[in-house]
Structure 1
Amino acid sequence: MRYAFALLLPLLVMTACSSAPKPPSTRVDAVTETLHGVEIRDPYRWLEDQDSPETRAWIEAQNAHTEQMLRRAPEYPDLEARLEQLLRLDDADPPLEAGGRYFYMKRAAGAELPVLHMRRGLEGQDEVLIDPHPLSEDRTTSVELRDASDDGKLLLYGVRVGGEDEIELVAYDIDSRREIDRLPKARILDQEIEKDRGGLYYGRMTAAGPRVYHHRFGQKEPDREVFGEGFGTDRWISFHLVDDDRTIIFEASQGWDRSELYLMPVGREARLLTGDTHAVFTPVRAGGQMLVLTDWKAPKGRLMSFTTARPDPASWREVIPEGDAKLEEIRVAGGRVFAHYIENAVSRVRVFTLDGKSQGEILFPTQGTVRAMGGHWRSPGAFIAFTSFQLPLVIYHATGSDPKPWFDAKAPVDPAAFTVRQVSYASKDGTRIPMFLLHGPDVKPGTPRPTLLSGYGGFNVSRTPQYSSYILSWVERGGIFAMPNLRGGGEFGEEWHQAGILDRKQNVFDDFIAAAEWLIAEGYTSPEKLAISGRSNGGLLVGAALTQRPELFRAVICGVPLLDMLRYHKFLLGALWVPEYGSADDPEQFRYLHAYSPYHRVKPGTAYPAVLFVTGDADTRVAPLHARKMAALLQSATGSGHPVLLRYDTKFGHTSSLPVSKQVEDMAAELRFLLWQTGG
């Protein structure tokens, strides 16, 4: 279905904005401090206190103002209905096989939340194990699969409320269909059931840092700490039980470009294997050996192997050498290695024997993304979940390079109604940046159209083509979607990531701004029709873009963002991100953080674009205070007359564990804002 843009709408928008109600007044405090000789003003620091009565009243007033303003937008009566059609599809995650049983999360087309299922055998009937729908009337409680015992008789699943990162960890006996234990809510990092099913090891984040504990099911005594003493809040831990649970291999990560491997015989001291090597080491169990995906002396990644009898790196053997594409992930199943590569920002999967001999490549129907892979060394095969801009999801079961579809979601989408292009452009320093464009087949440069430019550029995350009802709805209405592969991401290996962190973070913003300039110069859009969006680190990205080049954009969606980069590290998980961003406690790092921190770049009287900030109380990852403070500051500073709004959810937060109806509501609100502001 196609929708034309109304030519008269920009005039209506101007008229509406000229008589728009003013945002709620916000108290200004004269808070100043001196950091490294520079005076820093923070007029809205009082909004950092999320639970104060004044902040709660302010949030309520902001939400009321936002709803009032969004009601001024034109009606799009078919918008929510189309989002429902595109989103209410069967969906699933790759199964976890254990003891011939297959455990997986699946959401039926008519359901609000994913349900934990089991099959007895690959082609068995679906059996519901845990249905989260009865757990809360408002569907704010969800469940997720975490682990299964080797024999498939015991399951671990998590219970999450809202969008919190913290979960309760539940041990569940499959045959009796009963809960046998429950660990209190915590930020769980990893977990693994012991072979005898008598207990588990689990990692969680404490106030002091990450720690790994041993828990016996049903015990009342405090759990025994086994690893992590001395690690601070800038680290996290994952692990594997090996040698019939006699040995544990730990990966202790610090930032997104460094981790250490430790080997610990149970009951003894852990031994560091990798020394002071600045590289990432991700272990994967493969029977009697460990495979290690690493960028050590290989920025695009290679695969090494070792045994616990000879674990020192000097004895490691190279299994798959570094290639031209980035080695993103591996799974070991059915005696083979399934290697997921990112090549020119699209996924490819190659198959190898355990000693590295090529067994061919899995061919996908179009350019797209391996959303997830499932399987472990005991499994007869791997599961590979594939998606693209127009294809919602196919989960393949693969024992070699000729996989068979195991799950296939169908969407009411005609692929011929969309054109995907991959272009490239020069950033400020001349670096070539690739970018995907998604639009209708009739779109030609020279006729500016409403365009949504979205980016991330951080934490070694690769942005690749994926299905989104949000994006398809935008494009169906005549818009263009643009997704550049910015530096700081993981699309081209560790060197690409390193080019966008710490004192090189401005490269990411320059790449994004250059994308906007290219789209305008090529005639795809104009500043009056260009919108930008980003979430989390992407929220920082669009915050930097709108404060550095406000004249380029008409509308901004800034979701769960970091914006006060001088104080971010003091809240929630902020300390984990210091290796990526730096810390204002360090004089040199303060210099570049202060230079781009969006909250500190706002200038009174500047004609800023329309902005919709989105966050919520249950975000326990990125503190909602960033959006609160920035919304207040921009509302007082903007000279454009365009709305600056805050849409603040009191039940949900950072993660995507939302019921479908809530997803539709949120997407419809954002799309109405974008269509209204860009003339769509």
Structure 2
Amino acid sequence: MTREPYPTARRADTVDVLHETPVPDPYRWLEDPDSPETQGWLLAQADLFKRESGPQRFRERIGELLRSGSVGTPAWRGGRAFFSRRTPDQEHAVYYVAEPDGTERALIDPMELDPSGLTTLDAVQPDKEGRLLAYQISVGGTEESVLYVIDVATGSRVEGPIDRCRYSPVAWLPGGEAFYYVRRLPSTEVPENESQFHRRVYLHRVGTSTEDDVMIFGQGLKMTNYYGVSVSRDGRWLQVSAHEGTAPRNDLWVADLTASPPERPELVVVQEGVDAQTGLTFGRDGRLYVHTDRDASRGRVCVTDPATPGAEGWRDLIPEDPEAVLSDYAVLDDLERPIMLVGWTRHAISEISVHDLATGERLGEVPTPGLGSIGGLSERPEGGFEAWFGYTDNTTPPTIQRYDARTGETTLWAASPGAVEVPAVRTSQEVYRSKDGTEVRMLVISPVDAEGPRPTILYGYGGFGLSMTPGYSASILAWVEAGGVYAIANLRGGGEEGEDWHRAGMLGHKQNVFDDFHAAAEHLVATGVTTPEQLAISGGSNGGLLVGAALTQRPDLYAAVACSAPLLDMVRYELFGLGATWNVEYGSAEDPEQFGWLRSYSPYHQVREGVEYPAVLFTVFQSDTRVHPLHAWKMCAALQHASASDRPVLLRNEAEVGHGARSISRTVDLSADTLTFLAHHTGL
């Protein structure tokens, strides 16, 4: 098969010398999205993608499977329940309130705010009484959240817009008169290339100008810090945390707001300079509950007195489990014997155990609908005997379950509103060994009657402590229904086996992630699930880095690659988007040793001329402010120049969407284009 010629991309002789090492960068000019040369190249790539991608398959079926809609876990405030729901025909989920009598009202509908579908709802936080609601929206995928407050009863706006609130928590004080939040400094006060950073914690009084907001924390600390802030249910305790970028550790402080004013809280150190993550819950019983991975990679819950919050006073309530990761907990205390529900993931499968609140003694477990993922354990802030949690698995659209501690029963509280016919699939969890002998797990979803090798997609992420757990996916189901196999590997770098598992795949250990992935592919081939000619790999963001490294390290092992919103130039990644916040995960090219790690696997720098590379589809989003599309642009140009195979290297460059949330129709289109490409090059 003859491939049509690629658009011309000038190869410049740009070379940086870093730590006495020459680092060529022939496509540096593609880092400027506004240059006529870049724009001309992108238009030519768009034309090529249109011509080469062929008739789109899967679109209708993915759309049907997404008609399940979705539903979110409720937050209870003052007798009201706040929750999200997306019905079969909606582009975005709508945020609702249910009154104590069960009457429902829509509070925020992104399509009403913007019928184009480009506005997304980024975050919501009702106040403690359920009378006011803070929410954050952004447009066109930028994730540049703007904060508003509305009156829940009338829907009228009482505050906003407040800009520069990307990733801001909102911590209400009782009465709804004020809240703490996080906001970046104005761009006029920081260097131009640092406008995404420099966050501070402020106190804002509703109805006053943000000019009058009082900065209570963040001055003089690292520019890449993220801050968390919360106020206890009774309004007495303020908790402030600081993470350096995405580091798996935090510093933590508390203040007693009855002993110091909200504008000048006297913050007391809980932990500082400690290599661990810790969060606090102030119990209705007067005890302080501590969720930490300090001296417990898989997590534990301790108790102490709020007056002495430091680690020296912690006492284990729920100790670390040798093979399950403690994810969250809820306290149910309107019972003769108060209990704590504890959420765990055991090898990526969720479970909930029941414990005596006073002693931690295990009393039993919460019945769950199956072997899947549980999220968002929630209880009523004033206490009670019931809890709610989200549940999904590979064939179950999201549901909300209600657990009644008086009866020990779990019942369906809310289902996704759309009825869909889900294909029958077979799911198994495989265990295989990586290059260094480490046991790794992988979920394999296949047709019920699957026999013999067949087209297979291997998916992975392996970073930032994020766990790949079972969940409803229209793309996976459409692929398997068509006769393919879909495998999801629980690689090191993720959180499936705790914080040690994460750290075994970060910084200087990043190659472990790629080795785990290659070993997953080899296991699928060795067990007869697929062959290298039928095996595709897929990943996005940090998973895009994963498949970029995989295709350059083992081009012989994969037939096709879908690489979405990827990091690929690991020498310069810190200079773009939110890259400077990730050097705690990857390392920094400014450090000689860390530069060595990064250069050794940086996909863009590992492309070699004359190699027969797999078919590659890069999917990127023009408004992505986390990972700049330049990574994929440069890598696409490099592969188009270097590959000796007749399999195509294509770029799908999408405007007015970003790294995260998008409308359903955009999701369907992207999924269909990706599966069509992978099907074509694996023979499905």
Q: TM-score, normalised by structure 2?
A: 0.92
Query: For 1:3-402, what aligned pairs fall within 5 Å after superposition?
Result: 15=1, 18=2, 20-71=3-54, 76=57, 79-121=58-100, 124-182=102-160, 183-206=162-185, 207=195, 208-220=197-209, 221-242=211-232, 244-254=234-244, 255-265=246-256, 266=262, 267-287=264-284, 288-335=286-333, 336-355=339-358, 356-375=360-379, 377-378=381-382, 380=384, 381-400=386-405, 401-402=408-409
The answer to whether the Cα contact below 8 Å between 1:450 and 1:525 also exists between their aligned partners in 2 is yes
The answer to whether the Cα contact below 8 Å between 1:114 and 1:142 also exists between their aligned partners in 2 is no
What's the counterpart of residue 189 of structure 2? none
Find the aligned partners of 1:510 and 1:90 in 2 and give their Cα distance. Answer: 37
Find the aligned partners of 1:654 and 1:422 in 2 and give their Cα distance. Answer: 30
Using the TM superposition, give the Cα deviation of residue 620 of structure 1 relative to its aligned residue in structure 2, in angstroms.
1.2
What's the counterpart of residue 12 of structure 1? none
Find the aligned partners of 2:255 and 2:40 in 1 and give their Cα distance. Answer: 52
For residue 596 of structure 1, what is the amino acid of its counterpart? Y
Query: For 1:456-605, what aligned pairs fall within 5 Å after superposition?
Result: 456-605=461-610
The answer to whether the Cα contact below 8 Å between 2:372 and 2:391 also exists between their aligned partners in 1 is yes
User: CA, structure 1 residues 46+414, in 2 after alignment: closer, same or farther (shift >3 Å)?
Assistant: closer
Using the TM superposition, give the Cα deviation of residue 241 of structure 1 relative to its aligned residue in structure 2, in angstroms.
1.4
The answer to whether the Cα contact below 8 Å between 1:334 and 1:379 also exists between their aligned partners in 2 is yes
Q: Any idea what SS the aligned residue of 1:189 has?
A: coil
CA RMSD across the alignment? 1.9
For residue 431 of structure 2, what is the amino acid of its counterpart? S
Find the aligned partners of 2:529 and 2:632 in 1 and give their Cα distance. Answer: 31
For residue 208 of structure 2, what is the amino acid of its counterpart? Q
Find the aligned partners of 1:211 and 1:575 in 2 and give their Cα distance. Answer: 17
The answer to whether the Cα contact below 8 Å between 2:123 and 2:137 also exists between their aligned partners in 1 is no
Using the TM superposition, give the Cα deviation of residue 163 of structure 1 relative to its aligned residue in structure 2, in angstroms.
2.2
Using the TM superposition, give the Cα deviation of residue 222 of structure 1 relative to its aligned residue in structure 2, in angstroms.
4.2
What's the counterpart of residue 188 of structure 2? none
For these two proteins, the number of residue pairs brought into alignment is: 654
Find the aligned partners of 1:213 and 1:147 in 2 and give their Cα distance. Answer: 16
The answer to whether the Cα contact below 8 Å between 2:67 and 2:88 also exists between their aligned partners in 1 is yes
User: CA, structure 1 residues 144+406, in 2 after alignment: closer, same or farther (shift >3 Å)?
Assistant: farther
Q: Any idea what SS the aligned residue of 2:662 has?
A: coil
Find the aligned partners of 1:167 and 1:379 in 2 and give their Cα distance. Answer: 32
* Structure 2 segments unaligned to the other structure (5+ residues): 186-194, 257-261, 334-338
The answer to whether the Cα contact below 8 Å between 1:286 and 1:377 also exists between their aligned partners in 2 is no
Instruction: Tell me whether 334-343 or 644-653 shows the greater mean CA deviation.
Output: 334-343
The answer to whether the Cα contact below 8 Å between 2:325 and 2:496 also exists between their aligned partners in 1 is no
The answer to whether the Cα contact below 8 Å between 1:190 and 1:204 also exists between their aligned partners in 2 is no
What's the counterpart of residue 420 of structure 2? 412
For residue 448 of structure 2, what is the amino acid of its counterpart? P
The answer to whether the Cα contact below 8 Å between 1:563 and 1:599 also exists between their aligned partners in 2 is yes
Q: Any idea what SS the aligned residue of 2:52 has?
A: helix
User: CA, structure 1 residues 601+144, in 2 after alignment: closer, same or farther (shift >3 Å)?
Assistant: closer
For residue 164 of structure 1, what is the amino acid of its counterpart? T
Find the aligned partners of 1:244 and 1:392 in 2 and give their Cα distance. Answer: 36
User: CA, structure 1 residues 361+214, in 2 after alignment: closer, same or farther (shift >3 Å)?
Assistant: same
Is 1:454 the counterpart of 2:451? The answer is no
What's the counterpart of residue 645 of structure 1? 650
For residue 251 of structure 1, what is the amino acid of its counterpart? S
Using the TM superposition, give the Cα deviation of residue 242 of structure 1 relative to its aligned residue in structure 2, in angstroms.
3.4
Q: Any idea what SS the aligned residue of 1:338 has?
A: strand
The answer to whether the Cα contact below 8 Å between 2:446 and 2:485 also exists between their aligned partners in 1 is yes
Q: Any idea what SS the aligned residue of 1:50 has?
A: coil
Q: Any idea what SS the aligned residue of 1:211 has?
A: strand
For residue 22 of structure 2, what is the amino acid of its counterpart? E
Q: Any idea what SS the aligned residue of 1:88 has?
A: helix
User: CA, structure 1 residues 205+289, in 2 after alignment: closer, same or farther (shift >3 Å)?
Assistant: farther
* Structure 1 segments unaligned to the other structure (5+ residues): 1-14
Using the TM superposition, give the Cα deviation of residue 215 of structure 1 relative to its aligned residue in structure 2, in angstroms.
1.2
Instruction: Tell me whether 125-134 or 549-558 shows the greater mean CA deviation.
Output: 125-134
Is 1:619 the counterpart of 2:624? The answer is yes
Find the aligned partners of 1:594 and 1:315 in 2 and give their Cα distance. Answer: 45
Instruction: Tell me whether 135-144 or 530-539 shows the greater mean CA deviation.
Output: 135-144
Find the aligned partners of 1:437 and 1:146 in 2 and give their Cα distance. Answer: 35
The answer to whether the Cα contact below 8 Å between 2:216 and 2:265 also exists between their aligned partners in 1 is no
Using the TM superposition, give the Cα deviation of residue 529 of structure 1 relative to its aligned residue in structure 2, in angstroms.
0.6
Using the TM superposition, give the Cα deviation of residue 269 of structure 1 relative to its aligned residue in structure 2, in angstroms.
4.4
The answer to whether the Cα contact below 8 Å between 1:387 and 1:466 also exists between their aligned partners in 2 is yes
Find the aligned partners of 1:243 and 1:471 in 2 and give their Cα distance. Answer: 41
Find the aligned partners of 2:642 and 2:437 in 1 and give their Cα distance. Answer: 34
For residue 454 of structure 1, what is the amino acid of its counterpart? Y
Using the TM superposition, give the Cα deviation of residue 64 of structure 1 relative to its aligned residue in structure 2, in angstroms.
2.1
CA offset digits 1:318-355 (Å, max 9, x no partner): 22111123334224343343321111220111133433
Find the aligned partners of 1:23 and 1:289 in 2 and give their Cα distance. Answer: 66
Find the aligned partners of 2:491 and 2:218 in 1 and give their Cα distance. Answer: 34
Using the TM superposition, give the Cα deviation of residue 61 of structure 1 relative to its aligned residue in structure 2, in angstroms.
2.3
For residue 252 of structure 1, what is the amino acid of its counterpart? A
2:431 equivalent among 424, 427, 439: 424
For residue 89 of structure 1, what is the amino acid of its counterpart? S
User: CA, structure 1 residues 677+511, in 2 after alignment: closer, same or farther (shift >3 Å)?
Assistant: same
Find the aligned partners of 1:145 and 1:42 in 2 and give their Cα distance. Answer: 39
Give me the identity figure in percent: 39
Is 1:667 the counterpart of 2:645? The answer is no
Using the TM superposition, give the Cα deviation of residue 363 of structure 1 relative to its aligned residue in structure 2, in angstroms.
2.2
Instruction: Tell me whether 204-213 or 296-305 shows the greater mean CA deviation.
Output: 204-213
What's the counterpart of residue 442 of structure 2? 435
The answer to whether the Cα contact below 8 Å between 2:250 and 2:272 also exists between their aligned partners in 1 is no
Using the TM superposition, give the Cα deviation of residue 185 of structure 1 relative to its aligned residue in structure 2, in angstroms.
4.4
Find the aligned partners of 2:330 and 2:199 in 1 and give their Cα distance. Answer: 27
CA offset digits 1:120-139 (Å, max 9, x no partner): 13x71321112221322321
Instruction: Tell me whether 47-56 or 641-650 shows the greater mean CA deviation.
Output: 47-56
